[in-house]
Amino acid sequence: MSIAYLLPIVVGTVILIIGIGLIIWGAKEGNNYYDSLINGFDLREFFSRWPPRPEPGALITGGWIAIAVGIVTAGIGGLLWWLNR
């Protein structure tokens, strides 16, 4: 197996892992944010947006995009390897 075909597979796998991590991070941030609203004494954090947090929806959306890009990249690398063996 040539390194030229192995590189897209490795890069796609790394991007896929990053995407999964972003989805998990976004879910945890969403739970922490909404739990702080429920358990808080006031809604100051909700209205003032302090302390600043990454938006959970954006993290999850970015995670799904990274998963799609990772699958496509690894798939192209695998296809190139399979066609040129």
For the chain, what is the domain count? 1
What interhelical angle do 56-83 and 3-39 show, nearest 10?
Answer: 160
- The whole domain housing 54 covers 3-83
**Continuous H helices in the chain:** 3-39, 44-48, 56-83
DSSP at 84: T
pLDDT in tens, the chain (85 residues): 577 888 999 999 999 999 999 999 999 988 877 776 666 655 666 666 666 666 888 899 999 999 999 999 999 999 998 998 8
